[in-house]
Homo-oligomer: A and B are copies of this chain.
């Protein structure tokens, strides 16, 4: 029991109290449920891996996006986390991805060497990419990461672009903060 509590405590957001509560829940659950949980934990590590091309979480390598013949393999959208891909897939985007698994965060000791960017640099170096879209969030860390990558990936004629910061669709400009309004004005486009 102490060992289970100790293992559960290693999970993010789970303290000693929560770990105890979870451990007691597992203890009271059926043998089938406990086995199903154990198997699911084992299987996720056995089956899932990172795509060798884009770092997305996948059960086949390369992942379904990188292997797709109908996607534009020369248009690469760089995101912070695998979950961000779901957000972009809701749009009509039809290129591929690169997952950083984090952002630069000097205050937390996360420097460029911690970003998983080597395989993206290789793709760019080989001339396999027409455009890199930097789709990190417009937060301090996301902007710092985009700025770093814009410098690190620059090669010849390859386009490097940044997603628009601005007023969200459906929002009244009355409720927009001044940084967003400034960026919305700076990023205005001719119509």
| Interface residue ranges, A against B (CB under 8 Å) | 77, 79-81, 83-84, 87-88, 90-93, 133-139, 142, 146, 150, 159-174, 176-191
Contacts and interface: CB of A to CB of B under 8 A. Distances in A.
A96 to B, nearest CB: 14
B170 A138 contact: yes
Given A150-B191, A160-B190, A90 B178 contact: yes
B84 A173 contact: yes
A183 B164 contact: yes
Contacts of A164: 164-167, 183-189
- 8 smallest CB-CB distances across A and B, nearest first, come from A164-B166, A164-B187, A166-B166, A90-B178, A169-B179, A161-B188, A91-B182, A163-B184
> Chain A interface mostly helix, strand, loop or mixed?
mixed
Contact of A190 (B139, B161, B189): B161
Contact of A159 (B168, B171, B190): B190
Given A185-B133, A188-B163, A168 B91 contact: no
Most chain B beta carbons < 10 A, residue from A92, A150, A168: A168
A76 B166 CA distance: 19
A159 B189 CA distance: 10
B176 A87 contact: yes
